[in-house]
Amino acid sequence: MDKIELEIIGLSYSQTQTGAYALVLGERDGAKRRLPIIIGGFEAQAIAIELESMTPSRPLTHDLFKSFADSYEITVKEIVIYNLIEGIFYAKLLSEKDGEVIEVDTRTSDAIALAVRFKCPIFTHEFILASAGIILDESDDGEDELGKELDAIEDELDAISFDEPKSLSYDDLTIEELNKRLQDAIESENYEEASKIKAELDRRNAN
């Protein structure tokens, strides 16, 4: 069965289901299909920390796995999202040691958290994209493309909405205050807040 390579487009926590996040994957060849996967807060933190090149004060579980694998010269070559049953995605990672390739079943969110650490490709199959993929409107003018894509995907997923309550607002804080809070959050291992503060800093820097 042919595999389609995916890349991480974005990570959204901006809707109403407490503790739920959307990891958005897209076809690497530039096609407009996107694959949103709902994941938990811990896994979202693990992915965001690595994507944003943050360094936690102590290793997270996925960092420990990476260090353990490196110590024993085990390489994760790729991960494959290979099935979708009743809304649940199934994934496996293909690891290699001494030329032997071993498949290991894993949750999709954990697999992607490891993929970003091993810098290995992420694949899926056509039938999964055909079933769960979202095709974006190509009339976009290209401005702020990532933000518009996430907004469009959130609209499509309104039925399972995962917008975060607006009780935590950084609007009144300066960039210096945000950077201080970011450092405090990392030092206290509050990586969920750290990822949100980093997203706010990125948003301001893009304006």
pLDDT of residue 4: 96
Helix (H, G, I), strand (E, B) or coil at 61: helix
Q: Domain extents for the chain? A: 3-74+109-165, 166-207
Query: Tens digits of per-residue pLDDT, 78-87?
Result: 999 999 988 8
CB neighbours (10 Å) of residue 36? 23
Structure confidence by residue, pLDDT tens digits, 89-100: 999 999 999 999
The torsion angles phi and psi of 34, rounded to 5 degrees, stand at -125, 145
Q: Which residues of the chain have pLDDT under 70?
A: 13-19, 136-169, 189
pLDDT value at residue 162: 36
Which pLDDT value is given to residue 169? 63
The pLDDT of residue 207 is: 72
User: How many angstroms separate the CA atoms of 192 and 64, rounded?
Assistant: 19
Fold classification of 3-74+109-165 is Bifunctional nuclease domain (3.10.690)
pTM over 0.85: no
Report the distance separating Cα 111 and Cα 118, nearest Å. Answer: 10
